[in-house]
Every structure is written in structure tokens, then in C-alpha cells.
Amino acid sequence: AKQTETAFPIPANVFAETVTQVRHYTDSLFMFRMTRPASFRFRTGEFAMIGLPNAEKPVFRAYSIASPAWDEELEFFSIKVPGGPLTEHLQKIKVGDTVLMRKKPTGTLVLDALIPGKRLYLFSTGTGIAPFAGIVRDPETYEKFEEVILTHTCRTREELTYGRDLVEATRTDEILSEVVGDKLRYFGSATRDGETRGERITTLIENGKLFDELGVPRLDPATDRAMICGSMAMLKDTAALLEANRLEEGANSKPATYVVERAFVD
């Protein structure tokens, strides 16, 4: 058993884990890693409820697990919401601190919710990239798909750093690189970065630039599968475009050609 000293008792249905790494990317984005309980099982792409041991009844928020199911640790990518009941405190965590996690993970952004296909699109905005950070590091993804296209759209270029680093690390990882090969493609865009302002993913799908720049055919339900994670508005607009291209929303109980999950905010 781990030794954790907390001011309040740890509830029975939660794990108390130790922070092993923290990295801040911008004023509003940071990632942290923590120990993984030996008995904690999850499917890559799922989310868990995270809290801090700073109150009798801790505030819990949904966080996508950004590490793949094989990882010895658990990684999370978080926004810092000013005055947010959890993130206000969570953004101050340091290595060695305790983070709480409810024991049951869940979620729809899992490979099992998609029927077999050739090409997998992972459409994300902001912290919506988190579940895909697990998916792109899971060898099963490359066993199931010939090509994996990760798109990440943020307001500024700086906010793309986590995803860029992730892709670079995945491609160069000694073990992963063998299964990933050149199957992993990355498409980042920043929509509010002055002169170099790029376009929303929805616009890039509509005007075809996404496909032209990647050198891939237009969306086709016979070959293409997709996962979407971002704000409510982004999910709605992106899903509508996929539906217009005859993709259909799936779920754990009924696999289909695309799945959706909201990027969680405080």
C-alpha cells in the first residue's frame, strides 16, 4: 500500500495516487502523470473521475486518460479554468502530491466502438486531444488501421505543443516506432494566431484542404472511421459533416463508423 498523508480520509471507491510529473504548456494548459494502481484496468480512450484530497467531499471531474492501456503510469492533459472548482487547485499540483481517481473508468472513444476500416481520423480541439494521446500510443490502433490521422485545432500555435511533442515522441519511441512506422499522420491548425491564422477542422473538411494536404481521398464510409473530441459546438458541427458523408455514430453496444465524446471542462 502506498503511503499517502491527506487531511481528509480517502473515500472507499477512489484510488489515491502520487503525481510523478507535471508540465505546463501555456497559461491555460498543463499535463500531469501519476502512479497507476495495480488493479486499475481501462480501455485506451476512456475517461476517469479525478479529484483532490482537499475536502471532506472532494470535487470530481471527468478526465480523459491520455496514456494507452499498457502504460505503467496515468497521464492527463488539463485546462486551467479561472475559478474552476477543481482545476484552480489541480493546476498547482507538484510531483509527490496526491490525486484521487474514482475506480471505474468509462467512455465511447474506444477502438471497440468502431467497425473495421482502413483509415482512422482522430478529430480534436483543445484538450480534446487527450483521449487520442492514448489511442496513438496503443499498438492495437495500428493493427486495426493502415493509416491514423490525428487532427488538432487550437486557438494558438503554442497550444498545439502537447500534441506535436506527443506525435514526435510516438514516432521516435524505440518500441512504438516499429508498429507505428509511417502510419501516424498529424494535422495541426491554430485559428487565432495573427498572420498565420489557420482554419477550423470543419472548414478544412468542407473545403477539402485537409484531404488535399494529406494526399488522401475524401471521406468514404467504406474505408474511413473517426473519433471526435472537442467542445459541444465542435462535436455537433464535425459530426454533421461526417453524417453528410454517410458515416454513422457508434457506441460500445453498437459499433459503427464514428464515435464522439465531449472534451471535459471544469
Residues that bind ligand A2P (CB under 6 A): 125-126, 153-155, 191-192, 200-202, 231, 233-234, 237
Phi-psi label, residue 116: left if phi above 0, alpha if psi -120 to 50, beta otherwise: beta
Task: Name the residue among 232, 226, 219, 217 with its Cα closest to residue 255.
Answer: 226
CB of 185 to ligand A2P, least distance (A): 19
Nearer CB in complex with ligand A2P: 138/237: 237
Closest to ligand A2P by CB, 153 or 170: 153
- C-alpha dihedral sign at 165, 168, 170, 176: negative
Of 229 and 234, which has the nearer Cβ to ligand A2P?
234
Closest separation in Å from C-beta 237 to ligand A2P: 4
Residue 44 or 153: the one with the smaller Cβ distance to ligand A2P is 153
Is the Cβ of residue 157 or residue 171 nearer to ligand A2P in the bound state? 157
Nearest to 234 by CA among 94, 119, 127, 100: 127
Minimum CB distance to ligand A2P smaller for 68 or for 230: 230
Residue closer to ligand A2P, measured from CB, 23 or 192:
192
Give min distance, CB of 239 to ligand A2P, in A: 10
The DSSP-derived string for 15-26 is EEEEEEEEEEEE
Q: How far is the CB of 199 from ligand A2P (least distance, A)?
A: 8
Q: Shortest Cβ distance from residue 174 to ligand A2P (Å)?
A: 33
Maximum separation of any 2 CA atoms in the chain, in Å: 57
What phi, psi does 234 have (nearest 5°)? -65, -40
**Which amino acid, 210?**
L
Measured from the CB atom, is 192 or 254 closer to ligand A2P? 192
Q: Cα separation of 139 and 179, whole Å?
A: 6
- Of 127, 95, 171, the C-alpha closest to 26 is 127
Taking the C-alpha atoms of residue 76 and residue 102, their distance in angstroms, rounded to an integer, is 14
Starting at the edge strand found earlier in the chain, the sheet holding 29-35 runs 61-64, 47-51, 98-102, 14-26, 29-35, 73-79
Closest approach, Cβ 158 to ligand A2P, in A, equals 12
Smallest distance, Å, CB 153 to ligand A2P? 4
Dist. CA 41–CA 62, nearest whole Å:
17
